[in-house]
């Protein structure tokens, strides 16, 4: 059963899972804003009949497997303008002009990877297609990458294919898009930007675009069909930690050695305003920064899910971007990364009545905190009095911290994840 707009996604998911004639019953209209009467009417007059039909009518049952295509086959010839138009029509591009992935260009990228062209790197849901150096290179060429970027892209695809990443869940209507955190020596080797305007400079935009094209063309997420962001976002983004961070590097914090290079793939559904904590450069300034981060956490879309317990809690991740001056003020005041996470966990709170309002009117379940406590989804304190303040995060561990951006500005940003878990892989050059 789906709601309007998601039936194409259901069919594509069925096909990739080996069920080409998956039966679909579609609830008509926006369920999230229908009242109980309208929901009952739509179920009775539209949904039930579709369910009965789907369960009782014979299906095509073809189960035919599409023939395997030759990756070296020339799919189109023509001028640059004609190639771009053809790729747009096939929905292989992101709407921007592409570099034609000629055999010669793709071979140069594959050679730089040090892998066989047909080596299996990962299987990417929801289309469940095999990612190989060849088709990774095709998308990298289209995006404007360089052959030297291939080891990084292969590691990123390995992370995308990790079951912990849950890539199959990014088709959400909230508008999720991927980001990549790069750490280790490869940052300097490839010139990955970590300072001012970092997502818009150097190789960062091309690598981010390549990840977006891989999600589109190998994982099979097509905007408006299986990639359902209501407003959307054009590209993936790439970030690297600034060398002036006062704390251990992100990848070292997560168990890798300083001389190892890594990529961490996550998702976010916002790339928004970056407020400034204006205060003196002493402990009072650090306190202002911490309070501002707490306020930013409370503004996020999926706030109703943040305190949840259970297997999906680990998929609620927030990535905090701190410019170097903000990080330094916190370090000078004696705060480690773990201290910052603990502070936000303890102080990002809401009155219970406000959290209940969010559950009722911005979450599809339209329930109450008390009912979720009874179901074991929320901890006991959410069954208290309306004026009680409740911690909105399930654990300090749902917070990631990256020091990056302009080293002369005091800015912070909180990127909200959901549905997936940030996943890290080591970059291997061969």
One domain, residues 237 and 120: yes
Predicted TM-score (pTM) above 0.85: yes
Distances (CA, A) of 353 to 124, 365, 372: 42, 17, 14
Cα torsion angle, 161, 164, 166, 167, sign: negative
Let me know if residue 354 belongs to a domain. yes
Residue 300 has pLDDT above 80, yes or no: yes
Question: For 167-221, how does the pLDDT look when each residue is reduced to its tens digit (9 = 90+)?
Answer: 877 877 777 888 999 999 999 999 999 999 999 999 999 999 999 999 999 998 8
Instruction: List the structure tokens of 4.
Output: 């309007």
One domain, residues 244 and 356: no
Closest CA relative to residue 423, chosen from 247, 211, 212, 179: 179
Please, is 4 exposed, middle or buried when counting C-beta atoms within 10 Å of its C-beta (0-12, 13-18, 19+)?
exposed
Residue 65 has pLDDT above 70, yes or no: no
- The DSSP bridge pattern shows strands 122-124 and 26-27 to be unpaired
Let me know if residue 314 belongs to a domain. yes
One domain, residues 41 and 84: no
Let me know if residue 131 belongs to a domain. yes
One domain, residues 88 and 146: yes
Tell me the backbone φ, ψ of residue 390, rounded to 5 degrees.
-120, 145
One domain, residues 304 and 405: yes
Name the DSSP class of 68. P
Distances (CA, A) of 126 to 79, 371, 422: 33, 33, 18
Let me know if residue 104 belongs to a domain. yes
Let me know if residue 273 belongs to a domain. no
Let me know if residue 115 belongs to a domain. yes
pLDDT for the residue numbered 134: 97
One domain, residues 125 and 151: yes
One domain, residues 253 and 388: no
Mean pLDDT of 234-248: 91
One domain, residues 99 and 202: yes
Per the listing, tokens 């970059």 go with: 427
One domain, residues 219 and 261: yes
Rounded to whole angstroms, the Cα distance separating 44 from 373 reads: 31
Let me know if residue 190 belongs to a domain. yes
One domain, residues 123 and 6: no
Question: For 77-112, how does the pLDDT look when each residue is reduced to its tens digit (9 = 90+)?
Answer: 999 999 999 999 999 999 899 999 999 999 999 999
Helix (H, G, I), strand (E, B) or coil at 217: helix
One domain, residues 108 and 236: yes
Please tell me which of 354-363, 383-392, 418-427 the model is most confident about, judged by mean pLDDT.
Answer: 383-392
pLDDT for the residue numbered 272: 77
130-146: burial string, b at 16+ Cβ within 10 Å, e else: ebbbbbbbbbbbbbbbb
Mean pLDDT of 246-273: 91
Mean pLDDT of 58-82: 75
Domain residues for 321?
283-416
pLDDT for the residue numbered 90: 93
pLDDT for the residue numbered 21: 84
Mean pLDDT of 224-249: 86
Number of domains within the chain: 3
Let me know if residue 276 belongs to a domain. no
Contact assessment for residue 297 and residue 249, using Cβ atoms and an 8 Å cutoff: no
Rounded to whole angstroms, the Cα distance separating 287 from 326 reads: 11
Question: For 139-175, how does the pLDDT look when each residue is reduced to its tens digit (9 = 90+)?
Answer: 999 999 999 999 999 999 999 999 888 887 787 777 7
Ranges of beta strands (E only) in 251-338 are 262-268, 318-322
Which DSSP helix (H) or strand (E) runs through 89? helix 80-89
What is the average pLDDT value for the chain, to the nearest integer? 89
One domain, residues 189 and 163: yes
């Amino acid at each position: 059963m789906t709601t309007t707009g998601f039936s194409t996604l259901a069919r594509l998911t069925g096909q990739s899972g080996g069920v080409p004639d998956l039966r679909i019953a579609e609830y008509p209209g926006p369920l999230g804003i229908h009242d109980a009467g309208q929901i009952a009417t739509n179920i009775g007059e539209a949904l039930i009949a579709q369910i009965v039909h789907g369960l009782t009518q014979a299906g095509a049952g073809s189960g035919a497997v599409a023939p395997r295509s030759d990756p070296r086959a020339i799919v189109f010839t023509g001028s640059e303008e004609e190639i771009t138009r053809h790729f747009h029509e096939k929905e292989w591009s992101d709407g921007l002009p592409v570099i034609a992935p000629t055999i010669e260009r793709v071979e140069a990228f594959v050679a730089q990877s040090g892998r066989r062209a047909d080596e299996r790197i990962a299987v990417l849901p929801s289309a469940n297609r095999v990612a190989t150096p060849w088709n990774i290179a095709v998308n990298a060429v289209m995006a404007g990458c360089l052959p030297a970027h291939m080891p990084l892209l292969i590691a990123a695809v390995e992370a995308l294919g990790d079951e912990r990443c849950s890539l199959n869940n990014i088709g959400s209507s909230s508008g999720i898009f991927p980001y990549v955190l790069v750490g280790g020596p490869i940052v300097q080797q490839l010139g990955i930007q970590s300072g001012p305007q970092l997502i818009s400079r150097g190789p960062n935009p091309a690598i981010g675009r390549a990840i977006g094209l891989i999600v589109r063309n190998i994982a099979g997420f097509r905007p408006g069909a299986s990639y359902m962001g209501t407003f959307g976002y054009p590209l993936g983004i790439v970030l690297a930690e600034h060398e002036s961070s006062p704390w251990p590097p992100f990848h070292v914090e997560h168990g890798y050695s300083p001389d190892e290079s890594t990529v961490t793939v996550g998702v976010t559904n916002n790339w928004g305003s970056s407020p400034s904590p204006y205060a003196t450069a002493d402990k009072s300034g650090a306190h202002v920064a911490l309070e501002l981060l707490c306020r930013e956490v409370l503004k996020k879309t999926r706030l109703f899910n943040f305190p949840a317990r259970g297997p999906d809690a680990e998929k609620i991740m927030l990535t905090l971007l701190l410019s170097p001056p903000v990080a330094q003020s916190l370090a000078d005041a004696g705060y480690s990364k773990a201290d910052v996470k603990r502070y936000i966990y303890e102080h990002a709170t809401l009155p219970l009545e406000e959290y209940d309002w969010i559950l009722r009117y911005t979450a599809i379940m339209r329930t109450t905190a008390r009912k979720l406590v009874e179901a074991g989804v929320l901890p006991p304190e959410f069954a208290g009095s309306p004026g009680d303040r409740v911690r909105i995060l399930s654990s300090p561990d749902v917070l990631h911290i990256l020091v990056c951006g302009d080293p002369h500005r005091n800015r912070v940003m909180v990127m909200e994840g959901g549905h997936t878990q940030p996943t890290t892989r080591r970059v291997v050059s061969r």
